[in-house]
Structure 1
């Protein structure tokens, strides 16, 4: 059976803590590393340094940053915990101090006044020559890209009014701008949200605030060359529930997903909200505009794909309703009509594209399925599949790396970590993006397994 989001993120049975930091020089490599693949593949995910609470979600783990460096014909590996304020306090106490995901009312009393939410565990992101570990309820945490040493939080030179930045920023490939949004910007949890734009040099150039229609989850967002898109999903925050020790989010089946669209050169006062029943999403593949038509490509589910959270009545939700299919949502800004067109057969999550085409009309996207890594061709409608020999543990997020800065779209490589649970180890697969069905051109083997990571980036030399 295909999996909902919480399994598609790459965890499956990887819920235990690994709890180690490691260096491996000259990893075992099988096959032939492409000479064009030069640089560092950074990835980050949750790994509990101290035991979690019973029944807590794995996304509440401490950030573990790792890197595969491709240089001089070999590959070196390193992983280090992101040393957040939260982790430092627990190391000093030598025990778990912080409770449930985003619920301060379940914490040890000695944590009062500390930064309890920032685990820096969601996205390894590079911009203006700096590396960050992102988490959507916090400021970015800067990481030394050479040593993986934690350098501290970063908030645009103390210019941000918001207390949060999305874990899914978008970089315009033409301007170099970092587009972001801050959901629950002041941590009132009423739907207060900010749009943030940072220039290619790391300077904040725009911050505007608006209120979403309801206080729902907004894990990702999108830009096109002409528009900004804010998805708000019906997993809502109720502070009465939180104060009673309940979950931060709960799925409300009586609410529909809403998508806000504004002109990119305009103001948040121009956001138009579209209610789209049965279109729940977590991650964006890409988006682009054609005049008054706006296309958004994403894994779309008819119900709750964040199944680590129950519904507002405290019940588990139907797993079948949370299974996402890569789909195209098309918004007609003149008529107000919205259509959903699934990509036939492409059930899966963790979508990426050739990011040189972010915000533009594009052809190729990549995602993971339960037993494969998949390339979709929006022009021809074809799917190309790289089957995984070690299913069902399968792959984590696939990341595209262009063969050269000026290579045609899709010409390059896909790197993807695979957990081989039966052998308690992991491999990094290197695929030719245009020949994925031929299998890996190179496999980088680690002598141990890896925790599940969420999102990463490749920084070329």
Structure 2
């Protein structure tokens, strides 16, 4: 790759897949989107996604994770597609709209807020990370907060969800739906609201009722954005980006990367007690944001994840005040195996996949928590961008390359409820940089290298959306 090419692309996207571009700042309705190709007849429903936009001007050095939640939907009906976007009407957004100005300060730092809005219980909840569908409802998740409910059809904000006797203030932005039981598996670090080692495991049944909550402590107050759930085990990765209340009071960032601290991985039996049954493993020189899937194979727990040798959360500085260099942030799809029959010093092996650079991994969710074959991710092999597909049985990597564009998260939709693994479609929003607009590609999930089955065009660009769900009609 040429040195003159990489910085220009990196200026638009970082390796973690977070877009560096102007905000949208408007809500939109596009009835009857322009379509090239033919929408597959099996696609009947809505692709709903959310990301961080900014209704009011940002603070200096603000980060995209602090943006107001902007939920959008591509609705498929009988071969036609319509688009809609709405802001998640959180308490903080409503307060700012009433004041007609920015009131809330830096990411997860209430000490930088306007004094007129102190002590807002849901201060950090922007609903900007995952549009998550479960038990017939749609939730806007963010890992430090309790989610807001949104109407799946109108995208109207309906208020906070009902969580029973849940003590934790945090529900992960990456819950796992058990494809067998329909349960919603979740957890939260800093579960008491402060940056401490308090963490909570919690499970909701298929109807959304809280059926389990257990508290435990992590080795240090570190970042944990995603986790692994298998049929037999739970995996809690704690990354070496630490949080500190003292630093927040001094006006510093919420997280700070410590290159001398190894990542910590807690593994426990799925039906065990985290306070007594957890084993912690330490893996130096590894940082991850997302997990593709995890499964148990005898004594081994397998975790597939894009991970980097340094700080892939490039908007947070290290403890010396430095931003990471680009090579430190590049994430590469890697199979991590924990052999529970061995000592902690000998248990861990890492197998990176050659050429599989990128993030935002997804699978055929019907095969979550179990051994599987196919995964997808946003390719960031600068300067090559696109969608990657991995066959874990053969090790083959298939790529849908894009020119002058980049793909956001690829979502898998099965062709039918009982189709084979990987038999379905990939939906991914693509940013066309020169044209300053976005489009939705529909790819054949069996082979993403083929030309798109259909392209849904929008007459404007979209801000980065992080994660979304498919809601069948």
Q: TM-score, normalised by structure 1?
A: 0.97
Equivalent residues in 2 for 1:304-323, closer than 5 Å: 304-323=311-330
Distance 1:229 1:358 in 2: 14
| Aligned pair partner of 1:347 in 354, 357, 379 | 357
Distance 1:82 1:383 in 2: 37
Task: Give RMSD over aligned pairs.
Answer: 1.4
What does residue 168 of structure 1 align with? 174
Distance 2:88 2:472 in 1: 22
What does residue 405 of structure 1 align with? 417
Maintained 8 Å contact 2:16/2:331: no
Maintained 8 Å contact 1:278/1:302: yes
Maintained 8 Å contact 1:285/1:365: yes
Distance 1:22 1:9 in 2: 27
1:433 equivalenced with 2:440 (yes/no): no
| Aligned pair partner of 1:266 in 263, 272, 293 | 272
1:376 equivalenced with 2:383 (yes/no): no
Maintained 8 Å contact 1:364/1:378: yes
Q: Helix, strand or coil for the counterpart of 1:356?
A: helix
Distance 1:165 1:416 in 2: 26
What does residue 23 of structure 1 align with? 29
Deviation at 1:138, TM superposition (A): 0.2
Q: Helix, strand or coil for the counterpart of 1:437?
A: coil
Deviations 1:186-236 (A, max 9, x none): 022111100000000111010000010000000001100000000000000
Deviations 1:377-411 (A, max 9, x none): 000110111111333xx111000000001000000
What does residue 297 of structure 1 align with? 304
Deviation at 1:435, TM superposition (A): 2.5
Q: Helix, strand or coil for the counterpart of 1:359?
A: coil
Equivalent residues in 2 for 1:79-158, closer than 5 Å: 79-114=85-120, 115-157=122-164
Distance 1:13 1:57 in 2: 9
Deviations 1:255-297 (A, max 9, x none): 1001000000111121100001122111000000012100000
What does residue 214 of structure 1 align with? 220
Deviations 1:9-50 (A, max 9, x none): 544441x22110011111000001110111100000000000
Maintained 8 Å contact 1:6/1:305: no
Where in structure 1 do 4 or more consecutive aligned residues deviate above 3 Å? 1-6, 8-13
What does residue 366 of structure 1 align with? 376
Deviation at 1:454, TM superposition (A): 0.5
Maintained 8 Å contact 1:9/1:396: no
Maintained 8 Å contact 2:11/2:20: no
Describe the shift of the 1:146–1:189 C-alpha distance in structure 2 as closer, same or farther (beyond 3 A): same
Q: Which runs of 5+ in 2 are unaligned?
A: 1-5
What does residue 254 of structure 1 align with? 260
Equivalent residues in 2 for 1:159-238, closer than 5 Å: 159-238=165-244
Q: TM-score, normalised by structure 2?
A: 0.95
Deviation at 1:73, TM superposition (A): 1.6
Distance 1:380 1:188 in 2: 45
Q: Which runs of 5+ in 1 are unaligned?
A: none
Distance 1:20 1:10 in 2: 23
